[in-house]
Amino acid sequence: MEHPVSEKRGVGPLLPSPPARQPKRNTLARKLLVSLGILLYGAYVWNCTQAIRSKPVAEGVSRCAQSDVLVPEKNGVLWRSLGATFGTGKFKAKAIDWLGGAVRIPTESYDDMGPVGEDARWDAFAPFHNYLASAFPLVHATLKLTKVNVYGLIYVWQGSDPLLKPVVLAAHQDVVPVNPSTVDEWTRPPYSGFYDGTKIWGRGSSDDKSGLIGSLSSVESLIEQGFKPTRTVVLAYGFDEEVSGRQGAGHLASALFDYYGKDGVAFIVDEGGGFVEQHGSVFATPGIAEKGYMDVRVEVTAPGGHSSIPPQHTSIGILSALLVEYEANPYRVQLTKKDPLFSTLQCFAEHGKNLPEELRRTIKRSWSSKKDLHKLEKEILRNPIYKSMVGTTQAVTLIEGGVKANALPEQAWAVVNHRISVISSVGEVKIHDSQLLENLAREFNLTYNAFGTRLSTQADGAPSSGTLTLSDAFHTALEPAPVTPTDKHAAPYQLLSGTIKATYNSHRGLSGADEIIVSPGMPSGNTDTRYYWDLTKHIFRYNHRNSGTKTNRLAGGVHTVNESIEIDAFLEMIRFFTTLILNADEATNL
């Protein structure tokens, strides 16, 4: 930074005095020499500038370093043998039966379900447990099974070395209910588990019985081949993930914590991202973070009465104005280097073969240039998916008010659903929403209470026209998840990355190190891992499955009609779990 020249008292001038002026000589020649010097200096500066602009950005520095393909060594023969088995028609038929049978047992969970033991709808999970016991006899004969809160399942495959931290493979048993009015829209009945020669159809075939049955299929196959683990493997299956997981994973987490303690687990893999071809390369994006969550209830009360003598604004009218204010003022989206998407974009820039060059340069320069980071931010805002991944979102999802057409509604309320940015917090959302509605609360002369704090919005002594209350609608507010380490020293991430590469290659008969690129990612929703933060710093939301392209959709219909999964994708998931278990068993640095 430039500073103005100044003098210090008592020490004289900062610069020496100039020499005595000499008589001017050869004035024209002097001017020519000065002009030439200026031209030469200008040319020098221009050349330096061009050199800087043309120099490769961050030359020699990788912002998306890739791990090597990781193949089991000690158990290499077993791994190759099982890989060959997974490719046989006999095993394929067995896999079809395993997953199809699981889909045929409806295990729906609902938002309004009461506690286990009080709500009979939970009883639907008992037949599913019976099915698992019959379908996977070796698992149930070998692993220790503990049932938590009746329907939560913890299988422990005890390793021979108790000093090694266990790995946890998680999944959930429940599925989203099938809307009865949509049954006729299904190509195959929603709980048929039908195999059409390519796909297995039905609710849960993709989300998430494929993950649950895939991990059980892997363990059953390993036991059948005589494998005995050195490192303990834990299978943890909740039963209400689709309705926030409080009855299932919430209780499983407590049981696991009581046994293994804080940071007592090497890593956890649960449902999440998969792999997909983008920008000319195949990218796998295991989720390393999750956004926070909060449902804000906006409630207005006002005097009732007969509708023939209405006030200027009813409670419904006031609520409507408040909701318009929400939608007119979305949260500002800001891309920072702390966001997982920034890491994903760096991987696109380094490994995306067909990424436009201008975008590639912008992404790479954004690492050290605020100007390019801002330019990249504007670019991603054009993509609604990227925009929703980065910023805190808001969506009005529920509304209710009034009981009769000719009666003034005394109460009206709505719920605004927020998914909180990884660089924000529940506290920031409360402050933002409270301040957002303050002026309208004053305009409508409402007594304003926001999250337990009364905000003065009316003149002292003036009568209130009603109330406005903001609150946590269901007491389920969730902070953004801790971000899983992904640097070169993060052994679990490196192991997962190498496993993904080995699985992808072996399933296709490939051998290259960069046939698939592994990049940090983030799922759009929350998983059961919200309850497991204390168990480990290394949590990955990843299902090794093709997430789909314009021409190849291996899994579809999640949470809607025609949910299905290709059998080839399911077989690759089994291969992934097998490779992961064997690689973790040989690792000494987890």
Which positions make up the binding site? 172, 207, 242, 270, 559
For residue 23, give the amino acid letter.
P
Per-residue buried b or exposed e for 133-161, using 16+ beta carbons within 10 Å of the residue's own CB: eebbeebbebbeeeebbbbbbbbbbebee
Give me 477's structure tokens: 């507010």
Cα–Cα distance, 210 to 565 (Å, whole number): 8
Quick one: which H or E segment has residue 565? strand 564-566
Q: What angle do CA 292, 154, 166 make, to 5 degrees?
A: 80
Nearest by Cα to 66 from 282, 253, 376, 223: 282
Cβ atoms of 268 and 168 within 8 Å: the answer is yes
CA atoms 342, 347, 352, 357: torsion sign = positive
**Residue found by looking up tokens 């997981």 in the block:** 245
CA separation (Å) from 545 to 13, 211, 331, 538?
A: 74, 10, 33, 21
SS3 labels along 103-116: HCCCCECCCCCCCC
**Residue found by looking up tokens 């399942």 in the block:** 153
| Residue 174 bears catalytic tag | yes
Give me 421's structure tokens: 């940015």
Cβ atoms of 271 and 171 within 8 Å: the answer is yes
Give me 130's structure tokens: 């019976």
Q: Which residue in 220, 241, 271, 433 is the catalytic one? A: 241
**Residue 393 pairs with which residues in a beta bridge?**
419
Nearest by Cα to 294 from 241, 238, 244: 244
Give me 585's structure tokens: 């068993």
Question: What length is written for the chain?
Answer: 590
Active site residues: 174, 241
